Amino acid sequence: MNIWAAPGCFFGDKSETYVSVKFKGKSVGGGGAGGGSGSVNSPMPGKISSIVVKDGDSVEEGDLIMVLEAMKMEHPIAAPKSGVVGKIGGEEGTLVTDGELLFVIEGDDDE
């Protein structure tokens, strides 16, 4: 993770400091053990604001599964692989912690 603040850049009251956060090497929504894992854990604490799918639905890699509200922003959480939604770890309005299971995608390549 890189954190940077441009010196001398103020967008309002000069006493405020603005910081831009850029994540590298880990996409939001990625998680679980090993490459190709279908388990997706919360990348940060927040609230599940919407769930687009149900248990048993078929999804393709990259399909929107849910939206996590955190830090006054909405973060789309996508399927890491194609398969079937096997478990959703909460419902709309559920508060989740960093690393908590959000959902599982089961596919033919699971052992």
48: helix, coil or strand? strand
pLDDT of 108 reads 60
Q: Tens of pLDDT along 28-73?
A: 444 443 345 689 999 999 999 999 999 999 999 999 999 999 988 9
- Domains of the chain plus CATH, in order, are 31-106 (2.40.50.100)
Q: Distance between CA 25 and CA 45 in Å, rounded? A: 20
Q: Based on the number of CB atoms within 10 Å of its own CB, is 64 exposed (0-12), middle (13-18) or buried (19 or more)?
A: middle
Residue partners of 59: CB distance under 8 A and separation at least 6: 53, 65, 79, 82, 83, 84, 85, 105
Quote the pTM value.
0.65
